[in-house]
Chain A
Amino acid sequence: MNIRDLIKIGFSNLWQTKLRSILTILGVVIGIGALSSMISFGTGIQKNITDAFKNNDLFTSMNVTAAKIGMDDIQHPDPGRIRDAMKEKKAPLNDSTLELIRNVEGVAIAHPEIILPCKLVMGEKNTSTRAQALPAAMGKYKPYKDLMAGTFLLSDTGRQMVLSWETMRRLGYVCIDDKQNKLSKKDSSENRILVNADTMIGKKLFLVAATIDVKKVMKNPFAMMNGAGEEAFSEDSTVFTLTGILKRSGPFGSGDIKGGAVIPAKTASEIPTLGFSSIWDILSPGKDENQYSSIYVRVGDIQEMGRIRKEIEDMDMHVFSISDQLEEIKRGFLIMDSILGAIGVVALLIAALGIINTMVMSILERTREIGIMKAIGGSDREIKTIFFVEAGSIGLIGAIFGLLLGWLFTRVATLVINNYIVPDDEVAVDLFYFPIWLILGAIAFSILISLAAGLYPAARAARIDPVKALRHD
């Protein structure tokens, strides 16, 4: 008997016991629905985060520092450990080391990282943010190469400024984009106005830099807390022209992590003395003049990261990269996916018991039929295959409707999350992702589990003695 006939018989047998077949399939539907929606949640979170990293080219970026300061120090600063790290201080970061780094093969761009806390004033509105000093050449890279309006910095001098969508919003202007074309309730209540981003280009705004003399602060840090020590602060205002607006970042985007405003590198140096220029400064105060606290490096090819990193480390410098965390992040995702998947697998295993039950019942009911098939020439293998086809069909149909159920569930969950949990002025999130491997994998897994569940019943059917079966009522 050819496979087409076996499939036909298998389906016809399922159809004979419609209600029982449907109930068994329903068990698989729920199992696959749970499994696929759980895993799609894990992959969705992973995709959102990796996309956000990719959109900001974080996988090809690294920070070079003189002392060994890592992610933990940024998240949970421990003065003792940082002091120890400072003692191990290696080569100084200055123009000559910057040049050395730039000359490393594969380095696309390297520049000192300068970030200054500031206040931006546009019309009557103002907001506190951080301005990042970047070379115009950064316009070739994400997220600066594709702006929603205007252009990136045209040169390393001049009073040009590029603002993030989020900074514009804080300044009272909601720029229309594909994610938002009307004011949210919050925007309306805060008197923001909806604007076309292009109309904002060319507007003037003030950058008010609050300079801090770190040395004065460090002399008596407790005086700051008591409101004394005001002599450490001073303010200076500079007029800039808005040349470009960055696109709104995604739900997991870095947004304003480094700064809501970008100004040319050389212009930044003209702005009155800055107390500290980056997060690295806060962690390693007391660096010498004419030294950078950190250098930002972007490599051309992600595959070159390891080699370039090693070359820079060989220069006696420390390298921090988000891609260092990648393996750890991946491990985290794997654990999360495994836990979520395990819950789904349990549901599917329960469904598998349902399949075994259905098949065994079916054999009992069809003992005589199996005997007839054997009497007219059906082989053990053909009888076994018929039952395998039945089990596999339950798995296949269950998987298709299970994926549909899982997908519907995630759509409803997304709708609920966006309508009731995410504030209406935030970018809508989609925490679920159904990649093709998940769809095909779920189908394959469901069929596999169903076939495994059919193993025992099929073997039992094949072993049936035709003489006894023909006497069976």
Chain B
Amino acid sequence: MNIQINELVKTFRKGENTIPAVNHLSSTVRDGSFTAVVGKSGSGKSTLLNLVGGLDRPDSGEIIIDGKNVAALNRRELSVYRKTTVGIIFQSFNLIHHRTAQENVELSLAFNGITGRKRKEKSKALLESVGLGERLDHLPNELSGGETQRVSIARALANDPHVLLADEPTGNLDSSTSHEIMQLLQRLNKESGLTIIMVTHDRETAEIVSDHLIQLKDGAIMDEKIR
């Protein structure tokens, strides 16, 4: 299912000034594509991702996924959207530090109403699929950066989302670990047909891994390439 973004606007207030973070942005993200959003710091990449991820609301415009306008969903509908339609991974991993790798993945499943053995088995399978079968009971601070991001990916995939949103997923990782994570994301995109929207400042990597590149400047699309 395609993601249709129409005339999306998001502004932030800073004192008496209004700063446009996303400025009348329109684009279509194809189903199954690996879209990379690049741009300098403050260009509106993360804001765009937060809007598509239903974490934030636009001032105007539309984000149509599966016939629904995410921008028009109420708070309750947004939480359902976040747990069923999208999975999000962050630069700073955002795992709950006092929960083990498996418990972090389980939490996502629990919010979707999955209980008992099914939850245990699915969380274990997800962690095994990202190569962490031996690290189920480890706390985030007992894992390396790459491993932590893999847990984060497993958690994001827990509820079989249509879209995986990745906000600078390798920003806190060294180059070899970054490479591993990128390979993992590519595998997910190619093997499972998962639509991925990744925000990164690393244009070089973005050009390698993506088939749809959006370059932002001051909240608007400066350049867009589809392969």
Q: Across the interface, do B155 and A376 meet the contact criterion of CB distance under 8 Å?
A: yes
Q: Report if B88 contacts A (CB, 8 A).
A: yes
A374-B113 contact in complex given A380-B76, A467-B56, C-beta closer than 8 Å: no
Q: Is the CB of B94 within 8 A of A378?
A: no
Are B82 and A369 in contact (CB-based, < 8 A)?
no
B residues 146-186 touching A (CB-CB < 8 Å): 155-156, 158-159
Q: Do A1 and B111 contact each other (CB < 8 Å), given the known contacts A376-B155, A377-B159?
A: yes
CB pair B108–A376 under 8 Å, yes or no, is yes
Neighbouring A residues of B83 by C-beta, 8 Å:
376-378
Q: Verify if A111 is at the interface (C-beta below 8 Å from B).
A: no
Residues A377 and B84 in contact in the complex (CB < 8 Å), given A1-B111, A2-B113, A470-B94: yes
Q: A376-B83, A377-B79, A377-B159 are known contacts. Are A467 and B55 too (CB-CB below 8 A)? A: yes
When distances are taken between beta carbons in the complex, the residues of chain A under 8 Å from B94 are 368, 371-372, 375, 470
- Contact partners of B79 in chain A: CB under 8 A: 374, 377-380, 382
Q: Is B112 an interface residue (CB 8 A)?
A: yes
A16 at the interface (CB under 8 A from B): yes
How far apart are A467's CB and chain B's nearest CB, in angstroms? 5
**In contact, A377 and B98 (Cβ under 8 angstroms):** no
Using A16-B98, A379-B76 as known contacts, say yes or no to A373 and B56 having CB atoms under 8 A apart: no
Q: Is the CB of B96 within 8 A of A466?
A: no
Q: Would you give the 0/1 interface string for B43-86, flagging 1 where the beta carbon is closer than 8 Å to chain A?
A: 00000001001011000000000000000000110011011100
> Would you give the shortest CB distance from A11 to chain B, in whole angstroms?
13
Complex CA gap A4/B113 in Å reads 11
Task: Assess whether B111 is in contact with A467, with CB atoms less than 8 Å apart.
Answer: no
Question: B115 at interface (Cβ–Cβ under 8 A)?
Answer: yes
| Contact between B55 and A2, CB atoms less than 8 A apart | no
**Among B95, B111, B156, B159, which residue has its beta carbon within 8 angstroms of that of A382?**
B111
Q: A16-B98, A470-B90 are in contact. Are A377 and B111 (CB under 8 A)?
A: yes
Contact of B25 with A by CB under 8 A: no
Contact indicator B111/A376 (Cβ below 8 Å): yes
Most chain A C-beta atoms within 10 Å of own C-beta, residue among B79, B88, B96: B79
Tell me whether A376 and B107 are in contact in the complex, defined as CB-CB below 8 angstroms, given that A16-B98, A467-B56 are known contacts. yes
Contacts of A380 in B (CB 8 A): 75-76, 79
CA distance A376 to B99 in the complex (A): 15
The residue in B82, B84, B156 that gathers the most chain A C-beta atoms within 10 A of its C-beta is B82
Q: Which of B82, B98, B115 contacts A376 (CB 8 A)?
A: B82
Is A5 positioned at the interface, with any CB of B under 8 Å from its CB? yes
Q: Which residue of A lies closest to B105 (CB)?
A: A376
The answer to the question of B110 belonging to the interface, with a C-beta cut-off of 8 Å to chain A, is yes
Interface of A is mostly: helix
Cα–Cα distance between A467 and B76 once the two chains are bound (Å): 16
Complex Cα spacing A31 to B108, Å: 38
Q: Which residue of chain B lies nearest to A15 when distances are taken between CB atoms in the complex?
A: B98
Bound CA span A375–B107, Å: 11
Contacts of B156 in A (CB 8 A): 376
- Closest CB in chain B relative to A419 CB, distance in Å: 50
Closest A residue to B79 by beta carbon equals A379
B113 contacts A369, CB within 8 Å?
Answer: no
Interface residues of A in 423-473 (CB under 8 A from B): 466-467, 470
Q: Mark B106-146, 1 if CB is under 8 A from A, else 0.
A: 01101111010000000000000000000000000000000
Of the listed residues B76, B88, B111, B158, the one surrounded by the most CB atoms of chain A closer than 10 A to its CB is: B111
Assess whether A5 is in contact with B50, with CB atoms less than 8 Å apart: no
Contacts of B98 in A (CB 8 A): 12, 16
Q: What distance in Å separates the Cβ of B20 from its nearest Cβ neighbour in chain A?
A: 17
| Chain B residues closer than 8 Å to A2, beta-carbon distance | 110, 113, 115
Of the candidates B95, B110, B155, B158, which one forms a contact with A1 in the assembled complex, judged by CB atoms under 8 Å apart?
B110
When the two chains form their complex, are residues B55 and A466 in contact, meaning their CB atoms are under 8 A apart? yes
Q: For residues 361 through 404 of chain A, which have their beta carbon under 8 Å from a beta carbon of chain B? A: 368-369, 371-382
Given contacts A467-B50, A467-B55, is CB(A375)–CB(B88) below 8 Å? yes
Q: Contacts A1-B111, A375-B88, A379-B79 known; list 7 others, CB within 8 Å.
A: A368-B94, A371-B94, A373-B96, A376-B158, A377-B111, A379-B76, A470-B55
A interface residue numbers (CB < 8 A to B): 1-2, 4-5, 12, 16, 368-369, 371-382, 466-467, 470
Query: Can you show 15 pairs from A to B with CB atoms below 8 A apart?
Result: A5-B110, A12-B98, A16-B98, A372-B94, A374-B82, A376-B88, A377-B80, A377-B83, A377-B112, A378-B111, A379-B80, A380-B76, A382-B111, A467-B55, A470-B55
Question: Which residues of B are interface residues toward A (Cβ below 8 A)?
Answer: 50, 53, 55-56, 75-76, 79-80, 82-84, 88, 90, 94-96, 98, 107-108, 110-113, 115, 155-156, 158-159
